[in-house]
Amino acid sequence: MNSILFKNLCLRYIKFSFPKYNLNIMSNNKCTVLTEPILFSKDFLFRQFFDPVSSTYTYLLADINDKTAILIDPVIEWAERDKTIIQELGLTLKYAINTHMHADHITGTGRLKCLLPGCQSMISRSSGAKADILLNPDDQIHFGRHNLIVLPTPGHTEGCVTYVCNEQGVAFTGDALLIRGCGRTDFQGGSAEVLYKSVHSKIFTLPSNYRLYPAHDYSGRTVTTVAEEKALNPRLSKSLNEFVDIMNKLNLPYPKMIDKAVPANKVCGLYEVHEEQKL
């Protein structure tokens, strides 16, 4: 048997034996970026919302049978919208969660706690922010029968985490990994070297067909995959030294919202916020 035929037979075996973890589709010795998607299970609700001012994505996840919901990275100006949708769908918000202490918008977690009593806020312990529940590495966040695992992915900030749902094949990467980009590393304890190691050891080691949902996108893109970013991310597909050099030369302006957003986000977004916004 010639070697190409043997290889094709092996790939066919892998593809049909392990469909969920099917890695890159190979052809002609080349690795493509296309992968077979893992479909959401029938009892998993997923909604992606957008704040056009800060280009922030907020994610609503829920157990459709149990009606328990969580929100990832809510924005204070959209807390009423989030509350309305949650109530319209008959869901109960269990947790309002942040991937990190944001510098470009004020989190909606504090306001949502007021609007939807019973909801608890969550952020990583290493973020330095206050919340009802401070998350440690490898903690699990349960909502109904579903769960997210907390992976520490520092580098954009010291306290950045990625939330992974293995059953659904998705990860919420915050600003650690953006679509064809990454968060800046020059504020809030950021480090290009740390970020590179986080992404390569924690996100790029996930199965290639996992879908990645970032905290922002500035070009209208909504989702990517591990395979795509490993191959196509113009920064993180490079060597560590090249990446550090790219990040050091970005020369970005001082973040417009940082002096307002960071003090507010240290306390769930309710620092010096008008009383009527809290209620």
Q: Which residues bind Fe ion (CB under 5 A)?
A: 102, 175
Going 125 to 129 to 134 to 137, the CA torsion angle's sign is negative
Going 97 to 98 to 101 to 104, the CA torsion angle's sign is negative
Pick between residue 69 and residue 264 the one whose CB is nearest to Fe ion: 264
The CB-of-72 to Fe ion minimum distance in angstroms stands at 13
The CB-of-148 to Fe ion minimum distance in angstroms stands at 19
Residue nearest to Fe ion (CB): 175
Pick between residue 83 and residue 100 the one whose CB is nearest to Fe ion: 100
Q: Which residues contact 231 (CB under 8 A, 6 or more apart)?
A: 31, 33, 237
The CB-of-57 to Fe ion minimum distance in angstroms stands at 12
Pick between residue 10 and residue 53 the one whose CB is nearest to Fe ion: 53
Pick between residue 86 and residue 176 the one whose CB is nearest to Fe ion: 176
The CB-of-103 to Fe ion minimum distance in angstroms stands at 5
Pick between residue 175 and residue 217 the one whose CB is nearest to Fe ion: 175
The CB-of-79 to Fe ion minimum distance in angstroms stands at 19
